[in-house]
């Protein structure tokens, strides 16, 4: 048994844990800022019903979105600091990842999940399971 261990390549036994992990979590804020949050764009700016619903919902859960990473990695390509930034501009209107994460955050917040719990779900890819069919018709205003 000891002989088998001795034959392992040295670097395999001493590889840092970080190297074994996939990409790091994209940018997010762990807490809310002291001042106001950025406004989201108005849903009426868009013609696609799903996009309109995504922006309407984003306005309702800005505090949650501010504390979420976005796995389209717009933190790298666009300099975004959180998922909220996607909805403060037009980026989310053309990004399925942003839209699904926004709907996921909304649904989980309605179930009583905290921003940290929602973030854990997003990090585990649970946003990919959002049923998009329920967002294909206009949502109620409340």
CA distance 55 to 61: 10
* Calpha distance 1→135 (Å, rounded): 58
pTM summary value: 0.81
Report the alpha-carbon distance of residue 140 to residue 25 in Å, rounded.
33
Cα separation, 125 vs 15, whole angstroms? 26
pLDDT in tens, 120-132: 999 999 999 999 9
- Going from N- to C-terminal start, the domains of the chain cover 47-132
Highest mean pLDDT among 55-59, 76-80, 81-85, 136-140: 55-59
Nearest to 123 by CA among 70, 58, 49: 70
């Amino acid at each position: 048994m000891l002989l088998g261990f001795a034959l392992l390549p040295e670097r395999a036994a001493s590889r840092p844990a970080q190297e074994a992990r996939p990409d790091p979590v994209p940018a997010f804020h762990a807490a809310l800022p002291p001042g106001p949050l950025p406004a989201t764009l108005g849903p009426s700016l868009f013609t696609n019903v799903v996009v309109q619903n995504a922006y309407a919902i984003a306005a309702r859960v800005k505090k949650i979105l501010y504390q979420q990473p976005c796995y389209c990695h717009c933190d790298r390509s666009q300099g975004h600091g959180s998922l909220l930034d996607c909805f403060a501009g037009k980026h989310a209107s053309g990004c399925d990842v942003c839209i699904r994460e926004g709907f996921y955050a909304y649904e989980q917040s309605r179930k009583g999940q905290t921003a940290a719990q929602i973030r854990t779900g997003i990090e585990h890819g649970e946003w990919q399971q959002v049923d998009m069919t329920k967002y294909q018709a206009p949502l109620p205003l409340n």
